[in-house]
Structure 1
Amino acid sequence: MYRLVFSQVLRRLDAEAVHHLTVRALTLLSVLPLVKRLLHKALAPHDPALRVSAFGVHFPGPLGLAAGFDKDAACAEGAAALGFGHVEVGTITAHGQPGNPRPRLFRLVGERAVINRMGFNNAGAAAAARRLRRVRGVPVVVGVNIGKTKVVPESGATADYVASARRLAPLADYLVVNVSSPNTPGLRDLQAVSLLRPLLTAVKEVADGTPRRTPLLVKIAPDLADEDVDAVADLALELGLDGVIATNTTIRHGGETGGLSGRPLKGRSLEVLRRLRARVGDRITLVSVGGVEDVDDVWERLLAGATLVQGYTGWVYGGPLWASTIHRQLSRRVRRHGFTSITEVIGRTAPQARTAPEARTAPEARTAPGAGTAPGATR
C-alpha cells in the first residue's frame, strides 16, 4: 500500500513539505498517550532476543532512526512507537538558525537516494532542551546530535559545541558530536585530528560531568581517506569516547549540491565500518548508518561489527512500518540461525583488531528512560 501511495502521490510532492508533514503527524502522535501506547505495544521491538546494551544504555532493538529527521527533538516518542529501537535527534546547534535556502531536499527515486543541503535548520539548543525535559509516555532511547552554528567561525567551534553540550548532555541518553555534515561551510575540516582532539576533549568534559555521565560519540564522513578513518578511530580510543557513528552523507556524487544518502552510500559505509572494526575491535561501540534498506543490510552491518544500526532514507522509501518490519524479521532470523540473542551476531565476520591505543573500561549498563519517566532521570 505504501509503495502505491509513494509512487502515485508522495513522490510528486515537494520532498521537504512531505518531511514537515510527517514530523507534524509524529509530533501529534507523541502527545496522544493512548494511541501512542497502543502503537508502541504493537510495533516496537519487544523480543528479548533483540535487546542490545551499548555504552551502558539498554536498547530494545538494534535499528534506530538516524539524525536529520527529528531536527528539533519534537517527535521521538512517535518514531519509537513505529518500531525504532532508538531515535537520534538533531543536528541541534547552540543558536537557532534557518538553514540553507530552499529548495534543499531532493529525492533520487531511481537510486533510492536523497540529496540534502538543509544546513542544520533548527530552533536551537534551548528550544530542544525544553522538549527533551518532557515526561515520556513510552520508553525511548534518545540520542542528541550536536553541530556547529553556521555563523560561528572555526576558532569559536569548541565553545559553540560546549554551549550545546551543557544544555543537552544532561537530557540525552547519549551525545553525538557531528563534524561530518557537508552543508555547513568548514565543518568537515574539524575532522582533522589536530582540530578534533581539543573539541572532543572539551565536550567530553561536559558529558562526563553530568549526573549519570552521558556517553559521547563522534560522527564521521564516508569521504575521509582510509588513513584519516584510522586516525579518528585511534583518537576515539585515546580520549575514551564511547563510540563512532559511521557514516554521514557523501559529497561524491554528480547531482545537486549537498550530501547524498541512501543506496549509493551502502558500499562505502560498510567499508568504513569494517575498517573501524579492524582498528578498534569491540573496545568501543560502532554505529553503522548509510545505505541501510532492509533486514539483510542490518544483518550484514551487525556481522561486520556494528552494535547498533541506523536508517533514514530507507524509511523514506520503505514506509511507516519499515523499522517494525525489520525488527520482526531480525527476530525470526536470530532463531533460524540458532542464536538466543542478536548480540551473538555482532562482529562474527569481523577481523581481529589491529594494534591501537587502549580504551577505558566500559561503564555499567543503564536503562533508558521508560514510560512515565522524566528524560535523563534514569538510564
Structure 2
Amino acid sequence: MDNRTVLISGASIAGPALALLLARSGWTVTVVERAPALRPGGQAVDFKGATHRTVLDRMGVLDDVLRRRTGGQDQTIVDAAGRPRAVIPGEFTGGDIEIRRGDLAEILYAHTDCEYLFGDTVTSLTETTGGVEVTFEHARPRRFDLVVGADGIHSTVRRLAFGPERDHVRYLGYHYALAELGEDLGSGDAQMYNEPGRMAAVGGPKASAFFVFASPEPDHDRTDTGRQRQLLVDAYRGAGWRVPELMARIPQAREFHLDSLSRVTIDRYSRGRVVLLGDAAYGNTLGGFGTGLAVVGAYVLAGELRAAGGEHRVAFARYEELMRDYAKVSQRGSAGPFLAPPTPLRIKLRDWTFKSRFLLGLLLKATDRFATDIELPDYASGS
C-alpha cells in the first residue's frame, strides 16, 4: 500500500515537524492552517534531555534551533511589595534548550518542502475505500490518502473524526493568558507574583506578561478577544503588586491570547485513515512537555509510516504502541495548582520547593526521566 498523499491540519509545531519528515521521505504533503500566516514570536517552549536533542538532530534542525535559542532565565517570585520570596532557576523553566514557539515554527517551515494552505480549515472528512474526501472552508474539495490532526487541544480534525470536544477534553479549573504589554514594564528581570488562585508574571519567557488563574468552566467564545480580555480583567480585580498597572494595559495589548488549562484523554490516536498528533492527541496545557511530545510524536509517526511502506493500519498501531506510554506524562495533574496555588499555605510550600536544592534536584531529575522515557527507534538505519 502506498498512501503517499497526506493532509496535515495545523502549522504550529507538530504539523510542520511531521511535514518535514514525510516530505523528505517522498510523501506529497499539504498543511492547512487556520491562521493567515505563521505566528511569529510567541511564548517560549523548551526541549529536555537526550531524546529531544536526538530527534532534533535526526530531523536536521538542531543547529538552527541552538542558534535561535533564548537561554533560560531565572524568575524571582516576589511578594506584594516586590520583595523576593524564592527564585525559579532558568534550567527548570527553560529545560536544556529554550526557543520562542514562532522561531521554532519558522525553522521547521524553512526545512519543509510541501504545500501550505494558510487562512483555511477543514470542514468535513468522509472516508472512502481508497482515501479521505476533505472539504475546506475556502479551498476546493480534495482527496487524500491520510489525514493528520495536529491542530491542538481544540482540534477540528479530532472533532470531525472522533466526536465532540467534550468527549475528549477535560477542563482543569484554570485559565492562562499571554499578553504583549510593551517593553517599558520594568528592568527586564523576570518576576512572578501570587495570590491564592492567581498568578501574574512579567519579563519571563512566555510573554511580556503572563497570567494563570482559577476560574469556572469556560462558557465564552474563544474567538471573541474582547470578551476574553474582560474575563482576565475581572478575574484580577482587587489584586496587589503591579497587577492594576498590568490590567490597565490589557485592553490595548497588541498581542493577546487566553485559553483554558485542559487535558486531552482519548482511547485511540487513530480512526481509519485519520490520526492525531501532538496536543490533539495528548495535550495538557502548560504541562511542560507538549513541544517535546510533538516532535517525538512526529518523528515516530513519520518513521512508522516509512517502515510500513505507507500501510497506515500497521504504522498507526505501532505509533500508538510507542507513544501511548511515553505520552503518559501528559495525563499527570495540571500546571494550574503549581503556578497559581489555591491557598496561602500551598503558595509557601511551592516556594519552598525552589529554596531546597534537594527538592529542586528531584524535580529536575523527574522531568529528565519523563523526557527520555522511550526507546527511540533509528528509522534511518531500519532499527
Same-fold call, TM > 0.5? no
Q: Which has the higher strand share?
A: 2
Q: TM-score with structure 2 length normalisation? A: 0.25
Q: Which has the larger radius of gyration?
A: 2
Name the TM-score, length of structure 1 as normaliser. 0.25
